[in-house]
Amino acid sequence: MLARQTRDHLFSLGLKSFQCPPGKAWGTPHIPLNLRGLMAGERLTFSLYLKASDNQGEGVKYFPYLEAGEVLDSKWLEPLSKVEIRSLYFHQADLERVLAYLNNYLQLLEVEGPAQIQKKLNVLAEHLNLTLRRVFAAPRLGPHIQLAQKQVDRIIEEFQRDKLSLKLVWEILSRNYSLYSHSVNVCLLAVAMMLFLKKSKGDSRLLGSAALFHDLGMTRIPEDIFYKSGNLTPEEWEETKRHPLIGMQMLKRCSTLPAEGIQLVREHHENADGSGYPEGLLLHRQHPWTRILRLVDAYDALTTHRSYRQAQSPFAALKCLQEQEGPRGPVYDPRTIKDFIRFLALC
Question: Residues 305, 282: contact at Cβ < 8 Å?
Answer: no
Q: Please, which residues have CB within 8 angstroms of residue 208's CB and are 6 or more apart in sequence? A: 148, 151, 152, 155, 187, 188, 190, 191, 194
**Looking at beta carbons only, is 3 or 296 nearer to Fe ion?**
296
**Looking at beta carbons only, is 273 or 297 nearer to Fe ion?**
297
Residue 140 has phi, psi (to 5 degrees) of -70, -10
State the minimum distance, in angstroms, from the CB of residue 165 to Fe ion. 19
For Fe ion (CB under 5 A), the number of binding residues is 1
State the minimum distance, in angstroms, from the CB of residue 218 to Fe ion. 7
Q: Does 267 bind Fe ion (CB under 5 A)?
A: no
**Looking at beta carbons only, is 215 or 273 nearer to Fe ion?**
215
Q: Which of residues 209-238 bind Fe ion (CB under 5 A)?
A: 215
From CA 105, how far away is CA 173, in angstroms rounded? Answer: 13
Stretch that binds Fe ion, among 117-125, 207-215, 220-228, 274-282 (CB under 5 A): 207-215
Q: Which of residues 142-201 bind Fe ion (CB under 5 A)?
A: none
Residue nearest to Fe ion (CB): 215
**Looking at beta carbons only, is 160 or 240 nearer to Fe ion?**
240
CA-based nearest residue to 96, from 127, 64, 56: 127
DSSP state of 72: P
State the minimum distance, in angstroms, from the CB of residue 293 to Fe ion. 10
CA-based nearest residue to 141, from 319, 324, 343: 343
CA-based nearest residue to 124, from 114, 112, 110, 138: 110
State the minimum distance, in angstroms, from the CB of residue 301 to Fe ion. 9
State the minimum distance, in angstroms, from the CB of residue 74 to Fe ion. 42
State the minimum distance, in angstroms, from the CB of residue 327 to Fe ion. 20
Rg (CA), the chain: 22
Residue 71 has phi, psi (to 5 degrees) of -85, 125
* Cα dihedral: 85, 87, 92, 97 (round 10): 140
State the minimum distance, in angstroms, from the CB of residue 243 to Fe ion. 6
**Looking at beta carbons only, is 37 or 276 nearer to Fe ion?**
276
Question: What track of x and - describes contact with Fe ion for positions 274 through 293 (by CB under 5 A)?
Answer: --------------------
3 state DSSP class of 94 = helix
Stretch that binds Fe ion, among 25-33, 146-154, 199-207, 208-216 (CB under 5 A): 208-216
**Looking at beta carbons only, is 31 or 172 nearer to Fe ion?**
172
**Looking at beta carbons only, is 108 or 246 nearer to Fe ion?**
246
State the minimum distance, in angstroms, from the CB of residue 16 to Fe ion. 49
State the minimum distance, in angstroms, from the CB of residue 295 to Fe ion. 13
In sign, the C-alpha dihedral spanning 118, 121, 125, 126 is positive
Residue 287 has phi, psi (to 5 degrees) of -60, 140
Question: Residues 269, 244: contact at Cβ < 8 Å?
Answer: yes
**Looking at beta carbons only, is 278 or 329 nearer to Fe ion?**
278
**Pairing mode, if any, of strands 60-66 and 87-91?**
unpaired
**Looking at beta carbons only, is 131 or 183 nearer to Fe ion?**
183
What residue ranges bind Fe ion (CB under 5 A)? 215
